[in-house]
Structure 1
Amino acid sequence: MAQEQSAGAPSDEAGPFDLVIRGGRVLLGDAFSPAEVAVRGGVIVRIAPLGTALEGSRIVQLADDEVLIPGLVDTHVHVDEPGRTEWEGFESATRAAAAGGVTTIVDMPLNSIPATTSVAALEAKRRAAEGRVFVDVGFWGGVVPGNLAELGPLAGEGVFGFKCFLLDSGVDEFPAVTVDEMEAAMAVLRATDSLLLVHAEDAQLIGAAPHPHSTRYSDFLASRPREAEDSAIADVIDRAARTGARAHVVHLSSADSLGRIADARRAGVRLSVETCPHYLTLTAEEVPAGATAFKCCPPIREAANRDALWSGLESGAIDFIVSDHSPAPAELKYAGHGDFVEAWGGIASLQLGLPLVWSGARERGIPLEQVVEWMSGAPARRVGLTEKGRIAEGAAADFAVFAPDETFTVEASALEHRHAVCPYDGRELSGVVRATLLAGHPVDRAAARGRLLRRDGIER
């Protein structure tokens, strides 16, 4: 394990470094190299070849089985506070993030009460988070019917973009918009170059599908057909092309849309796409009867679809991977005693994202460097966090110390998430996060040193 060592006075030539990390495998650009990384004031100020013997107030020596990677950036997290803190709160969510090597999250505008659809609601959320976050936290705004006049002020207050649903979100305070309302929001957001995130499932096609009360996962899967996702994504592409807006499809589960997405990009549509660890690691065929811990929307699909999503990542049709961490208490996740209609949907995985994706990637011969790009560099760039997601001079000193070859078995009860409800319980994974550093300091689960972020770069 990485060892922190005391050090003498910093060298005069180098100046007073706060921290120097030395290791044989440091991710610089797209490759691991032996290097020394020097930090001052929370920023990487020098990178030198291993053996340079940079000195600092603190020295961290990586173990032979450890690598240094940039802290992950998870832009799709439901914290739920204020209003539903019993589901998840800023303290528990950001502790879980840090335990998983995530140093920055962007919080979704639901399921908190109030939803983040006005400046007043944003301020309520920031007050709830102030002094209680263990990693850096930014915020999304929300688009709901009737709040177009709020979008400009929210953008001015530093939200990283906006999210809307094209079908029922599941909570009354965040109603869905029509496709025309989505286009109207795109037109408004085009003026500020804000990003519009869309939960893309067609409400009419979902409504027409069968919804029997059942413990069979196949029945639930049939209630959320691929065609509904594909139709809604086509609408997003069409309206983004009309308006010139920046659009983003969240939690892609249907690989059938990959060709349409690639075609849209070639045509110049400003479109990006994410998928999630559960779509890359779980399959419909393995979900036991009544196992509602696996329920999410859009749903986990078949093994062949999972493999196609991996191909979509490798081809570049899918830009990055984020958690869609969406927890709920056991009484909601297990409501209906295994009835997939009654149970609440959502997967809690914020702490497990890196080992989940790395375990699947290494089986496919995909290198760790690529996994980190998908989970750190690419999401950071898409939301404008240019100082995050990379180890480079001038970048934020946010790091994860990762042991890629160490294995462990998931114990849901040991996770930092508020509730021990997790479809990965008992699963063996590769890769252990041994330490997480934020702004050059180890994250201390007893000391909340995270910052609240704004899109314009001002932190508080």
Structure 2
Amino acid sequence: MSDVDDKVVVDLVLRSTRVVTPEGTRPASIAVAGGRIAAVLPYDAEVPAGARLEDVGDHAVLPGLVDTHVHVNDPGRTEWEGFWTATRAAAAGGITTLVDMPLNSLPPTTTVGNLRVKQDVARSKAHIDVGFWGGALPDNVKDLRPLHEAGVYGFKCFLSPSGVDEFPELDADHLERSLAEVASFDGLMIVHAEDPHELDAAPHLTGPKYADYLATRPKVSENSAIAGLIAAAKRTGARVHVLHLSSADALPLIAEARREGVRLTVETCPHYLTLTAEEVPDGASEFKCCPPIREAANQDLLWQALADGTVDCVVTDHSPSTADLKTDDFATAWGGISGLQLSLSAVWTEARKRGYGLEDVVRWMSAATANLVGLDRKGAIEAGRDADFAVLAPDETFTVDPAELQHRNRVTAYAGKTLHGVVKSTWLRGERIQHDGVLADPAGRLLERNN
């Protein structure tokens, strides 16, 4: 706990019996001044003169979530999603910061010029704060340093086909060259790790059966790609991050690489932690993603890896499309799950069943993600951070109705599921941007690395 500096003019005090701080969960009053947390005070602290008191009772106050894996698709594929709808969905789900992937927008964020196009589109539409990843392609090594200097948080690459022609994958030689360049300025490479050779060797099955689709993207494709990435990171000294880990078989490789000093971080996603292959109905391509949702036994090992720190964080990989692309043929349907609005509730529902607390969820979905990209003003309720909060009723439940989602295309793998944790309100720099599902006008800012 800390006191408020006498020179600071507090304009808001947010009070709860359950405030999740880095030191634990406790009753507290959060003093906010000028959009930042001035102090975390005792629960019954006197409200400074002129400050507004907002008492949320027994609802939990969490730091706003930071989602570092979101495909907004704007501009170019705004019929799939856009900054207006994506950031509204995020705000409704307690997310106050997202980092946008360099695809599937047109143009992709692979040059500084393309980044500026993206920023210009996002600026007036963002309901929450938005940062940007750059993209690493076979022919744009020369663009990586300029993009880094322009403020992107790192570089996304694919080791297997991305699904869109304008964002080709890196082969082993291109990966090595890109990693060497990124290492030269201590940047971060984030990697979709599936081995195209293993995918080619897998069965090529079509149709509505989920088991057939699962066979087309076996665990070995992830394991092999991650092994190759680790070897390349060792040779180049680059910082690397494994995106959307679904294969628990890769966990020993990851743990060993870290013991050897490889600068490696790993994420997984709500759908891998809360949905299982056994429950996916045939033809239900709203469950399709790449890599795929795997079996319950695999899921148990992912939770264990989160608990022991082998997996660092949980992000949505929000990857929407229009409903017509979600055909009942798993081979041809678009691979992506929309998760922004439901991610906190979905993860909390499963976490509480497994004996984890809100402090764990905050660590995985706010603190670790903020740390991944160096957002030192986000990710925690402590003095000096942005006053970004999610107010959650953790014991309340709701049944997912797609019609109530803010995503542009209301297709969800969670339709009809009952989830714990209702997001009552969302706060961005001390201003309430969502309350009981009603959203305020856009108030988000565009973020750049180190700004």
TM superposition score category, shorter chain reference: over 0.9
Which amino acid in 1 is paired with 2:171? T
Q: Which residue of 2 aligns with 1:89?
A: 82
2:177 is the counterpart of 1:187: no
Quote how far apart the aligned CAs of 1:30 are: 4.0
Provide the rounded CA distance (Å) in 2 between the counterparts of 1:312 and 1:446: 38
**Structure 1 residue 15: Cα displacement:** 4.7
1:138–1:160: 8 Å Cα contact kept in structure 2? yes
SS of structure 2 residue aligned to 1:17 = coil
* Counterpart pick for 1:19 among 12, 18, 31: 12
- Structure 2 residue 319 is matched with structure 1 residue 326: yes
In 2, Cα distance between equivalents of 1:111 and 1:84:
7
Which of 98, 105, 121 is 1:112 aligned to?
105
Q: Give the conservation status (yes or no) of the 8 Å contact 2:15–2:57.
A: no
Q: 2:332 aligns with which of 342, 345, 367?
A: 342
* Counterpart position of 1:453: 447
Q: Displacement of 1:328 after TM fit?
A: 0.4
Q: Residues of 2 paired with 1:144 and 1:235: CA distance?
A: 18
Q: Percent identity?
A: 56
366-375 vs 30-39, which deviates more? Answer: 30-39
Q: 1:15 to 1:379 in 2, by over 3 A?
A: closer
What amino acid maps onto 2:413 in structure 1? P
User: How big is the shift at 1:14?
Assistant: 7.3
Q: Which residue of 2 aligns with 1:366?
A: 356
1:447 deviation in Å? 1.1
- Aligned-partner residue type, residue 354 of structure 1: L
Q: Distance in 1 between matches of 2:396 and 2:154?
A: 37
Whether contact under 8 Å (2:179, 2:236) holds in the other structure is: yes
Letter in 2 for 1:449: A
Aligned residue for 2:269?
276
Q: Pick the aligned partner of 2:199 from 199, 206, 209.
A: 206
**Who is 2:304 aligned against?**
311
How far 1:406 sits from its partner (Å)?
A: 0.4
> d(CA) in 1 for partners of 2:333 and 2:372?
33
- Gap runs ≥5 in structure 1: 1-10
Contact (CA 8 Å) 1:14, 1:54: kept in 2 or not? no
Q: How far does the alpha carbon of each residue in 1:372-428 deviate from its partner, in whole angstroms, 9 at most, with x for none?
A: 110000010111001100000111100010110001101111101111110100000
TM-score normalised by L of structure 1? 0.95
The residue type equivalent to 2:362 in the other structure is V
Could you say what secondary structure the match of 1:311 adopts? Answer: helix
Deviation at 1:62, TM superposition (A): 1.3
CA shift digits 1:293-324 (9 cap, x unpaired): 10000000001001110011111110000000
Q: How many residues align?
A: 443
Aligned equivalents of 1:170, 1:278: Cα separation in 2 = 20
1:12 Cα deviation from its structure 2 partner: 11
Select 1:52's aligned residue among 45, 49, 67: 45
C-alpha contact (below 8 Å) 1:325/1:346 kept by paired residues = yes
Decide whether the 8 Å contact of 2:8 with 2:33 is kept in 1: no
Query: Residue 410 of structure 1: which of 382, 400, 405 is its match?
Result: 400
Contact 1:277-1:356 within 8 A present in 2 as well: yes
After superposition, the C-alpha distances for 1:326-368 in whole angstroms (9 at most, x for unaligned) are 000100112xxx1111111100011111111111111110111
CA contact (8 A) 2:238 2:263 kept: yes
Select which of 430, 436, 440 maps to 1:440. 430
User: Gaps spanning 5+ residues in structure 2: where?
Assistant: none
**Corresponding position of 1:68:** 61
Q: Tell me how far 1:57 sits from its aligned partner.
A: 3.1
Matched to 1:290, the amino acid is: G
Corresponding position: 1:166 with 2:156 = no
State the SS of the aligned residue for 2:293: coil
Post-superposition offset of 1:13 = 5.3
- Match for 2:429: what amino acid? A
- Residues 30 and 369, structure 1, Cα contact 8 Å, conserved in 2: no
Which of 192, 200, 217 does residue 224 from structure 1 map onto? Answer: 217
How far apart, in 2, do the equivalents of 1:192 and 1:43 lie? Answer: 31
Per-residue CA distance 1:235-273 (angstroms, 9 max, x = gap): 110001111110000000000000110000000000000
Deviation for aligned residue 1:54:
2.1
After the TM superposition, list the runs of 4 or more consecutive aligned residues in structure 1 that deviate by more than 3 angstroms: 11-15
Q: Which residue is equivalent to 1:299?
A: 292
Rounded Cα–Cα distance in structure 1 between residues aligned with 2:280 and 2:15: 44
Counterpart-to-counterpart distance in 1, 2:70 and 2:110:
17
TM-score (norm 2): 0.97
| Aligned-partner residue type, residue 80 of structure 2 | W
RMSD, matched Cα: 1.2
Deviations 1:51-103 (A, max 9, x none): 11223432110122x01110000000000000000100000000000000000
Amino acid paired to 1:57: A
Q: Does the CA-based 8 Å contact 1:409-1:428 persist in structure 2?
A: yes
Q: Where does residue 352 of structure 1 map in the other structure? A: 342
Work out the CA distance in 2 between the residues paired with 1:187 and 1:154: 15
Distance 1:350 1:452 in 2: 18
Change (3 A) 1:14 1:63: farther
Cα deviation for residue 200 of structure 1 reads 0.2
Per-residue displacement from partner, 1:117-142 (whole Å, max 9, x unpaired)?
10111011001101110000000000
Equivalent residue for 1:28? 21
Letter in 1 for 2:414: Y
Distance 1:267 1:372 in 2: 28
